[in-house]
Structure 1
Amino acid sequence: MHRRGRGIPRKGSLCWRPSLPEHKVAWDAGTGSGQAALSLEEHYDQVIATDASAAQLKHAAKHPKVHYLHTPISLSEDELVSKLGGDNSIDLIISATAVHWFDLPDFYSVANRVLKKPHGIIAVWTFYDMRDLKKSMKMLREAVLPYCDPRLCYPLEGYRKLPFPFESVGYGCEGSPIELDMEVEMTFDEYVKSVKTGSVFLQANEKGVELFSDEILEEMKREWGDNTGRRKLHCIECMLVGKSKSDRSLISKVLVMK
């Protein structure tokens, strides 16, 4: 059920974490290499980090507070809930650039069960755009959309169409995520490589389709400028944060999704 992750948006971590009365147990769903899980360890007594890929977990950075669990998609809901500590056991659930890969009704059903009531929080986010490279990013999205897995449409649209059946806590809601700024540093070559090695580009290449056109490359160069070394890039992350609705309300929404 769970794979692929990245760290917490710096500004985002300031907005929803202080609203939690307890900082005992957090769950990073789709932890990947464990970046997001590690960014939680200083704030929580225990971090449970899960992923459907055993291979990914082998490369995750170890920490005494972070407990990595392999959660294959064959696990039943009751088995997964039990592995996570049971009903009403989790203070915070996060999913960093991963939730769109999940079976959403199943994941949200588990999330609603394990979140502590009434204050447990779920936060999901994804990379969306680059403020410095907006035109080339738009060109990339337009090139990718016809070829990508339908689930990738969620992050490409900034989670604006992602089902999110939780009560808003003031930081985004279903259909209206909040946008957060992050800074990263890289060279132009590193940036181009990170784009060209994306799963959509690689899969298209296997079919003989080159999505990364000369026009896109030239626009990237123009927007990048003359800086030949490392430079700061301003990324936009889209985030949804919520808590469990009343049982009747959430169950109805999940049934509609199914």
Structure 2
Amino acid sequence: MNCPLFVESNHTANYKAFRPDYPQELYKKILEFYFNTTNINLNDDDKKIPLALDVACGSGQATVDLSYYCHRVIGIDGSQNQLKNATLKQNIEYQCHNAENITFLPPNSIDLITVATALHWFNIQTFFEQVNRILKPNSGVLSIWSLGFPLLDNPKAIEVQHKFSHCDLDGYWSDKIQLLTDHYESILDTFPYQETRIKHVIEYEREMSILQFVNMIETWSACQTYRERHGQDKLKQLLKTLADNLAKCYTESSNDISSNKDGDAIYDKKMIVKWIIHLHLMKKQ
């Protein structure tokens, strides 16, 4: 992947710190599909995938998780700064490559290819051609998943987030985001290995403070575009307004948050954030 929205050093550090992880259930579904079973123990060392390739790995959120379930993982990303922030492990190898340029891998060499909420940034046809070249026949698995907009546990907070995402950031989203928001449904017919393709829908929750949530929001591509057009100070003010509005939703008082005697402590209030993952699995025949 070669997306300029995710390459600056400050942003990549925030990406590593604040992007959400993925639930174990997701990896369980991948292993069950690979081993053709419905009874996988994630701690079973005899049920590990030999070699996985995590494409557009960023700072390694999914790559590190995969390292527990695979003997070896290669994580690639088009941003060297992302890779500089990646977590190192003995069985992980990181390389700087775009999704469309993985010719460094020999044909029929990879057991599992994963794409975690990144396919929409690719030249998809070219990527799938590379997938077909490097996946092992009769066993190689392609796993693609999408993470939709977060869902909050407070009706007023839901309205605040919706306004921020669809009004304040209107005009700052790439057209490619539409593919993500519909969970790639509009392009499923372009996916390879159609005769084997299955889908799982996985819901999971995380407890986050308001500050942690807003820090995560700052890593969104639309926020990076907003910053490029208006500068860091304007983006910070926009995000502070979001934090203030969310804080009001989780407190009894509707007074201006800036006058709250606890100051920044108000942003430590906890919220339950839910995501819905659409996981697409397919096997090369």
Q: TM-score under structure 2 normalisation?
A: 0.69
1:87-98 equivalent positions in 2, closer than 5 A:
87-98=107-118
Identity of counterpart residues, as a percentage? 22
Q: Check the 8 A contact 1:92/1:121 in 2, yes or no.
A: yes
Sort the Cα spacing of 1:203 and 1:150 in 2 relative to 1 into closer, same or farther, 3 A.
Answer: same
Q: Check the 8 A contact 1:184/1:232 in 2, yes or no.
A: yes
Determine helix, strand or coil for the equivalent of 1:45: strand
Matched, 1:108 2:148: no
CA distance in structure 1 between the aligned counterparts of 2:31 and 2:251, rounded to whole angstroms? 38
Q: Check the 8 A contact 1:118/1:244 in 2, yes or no.
A: yes
Q: Check the 8 A contact 2:150/2:275 in 1, yes or no.
A: yes
Q: Check the 8 A contact 2:99/2:122 in 1, yes or no.
A: no
| Deviation of 1:243 (Å) | 2.3
1:49 to 75, 84, 96: 75
Sort the Cα spacing of 1:92 and 1:64 in 2 relative to 1 into closer, same or farther, 3 A.
Answer: same
Sort the Cα spacing of 1:197 and 1:24 in 2 relative to 1 into closer, same or farther, 3 A.
Answer: closer
CA distance in structure 1 between the aligned counterparts of 2:218 and 2:76, rounded to whole angstroms? 28
1:14-93 equivalent positions in 2, closer than 5 A:
14-21=28-35, 23-72=49-98, 75=101, 80-81=102-103, 83-84=104-105, 86-93=106-113
Amino acid at match of 1:20: Y
Counterpart of 2:276 in structure 1 is 236
Q: Check the 8 A contact 1:28/1:95 in 2, yes or no.
A: yes
Moved more, 23-32 or 229-238: 229-238
Counterpart of 1:251 in structure 2 is none
Q: Deviations over 1:63-109 (max 9, x none)?
A: 1100111115794xxxx23x23x111111110112221111111111
Determine helix, strand or coil for the equivalent of 2:70: coil
Q: Check the 8 A contact 1:181/1:236 in 2, yes or no.
A: yes
Q: Deviations over 1:121-172 (max 9, x none)?
A: 1111222033325544443443345331112222233333345412264632
Moved more, 10-19 or 113-122: 10-19
1:142 to 145, 166, 177: 166
Counterpart of 2:147 in structure 1 is 127
Q: Check the 8 A contact 1:6/1:34 in 2, yes or no.
A: no
Counterpart of 1:200 in structure 2 is 222
| Deviation of 1:213 (Å) | 9.0
Amino acid at match of 1:234: K
Which structure: larger Rg?
2
Sort the Cα spacing of 1:60 and 1:195 in 2 relative to 1 into closer, same or farther, 3 A.
Answer: same
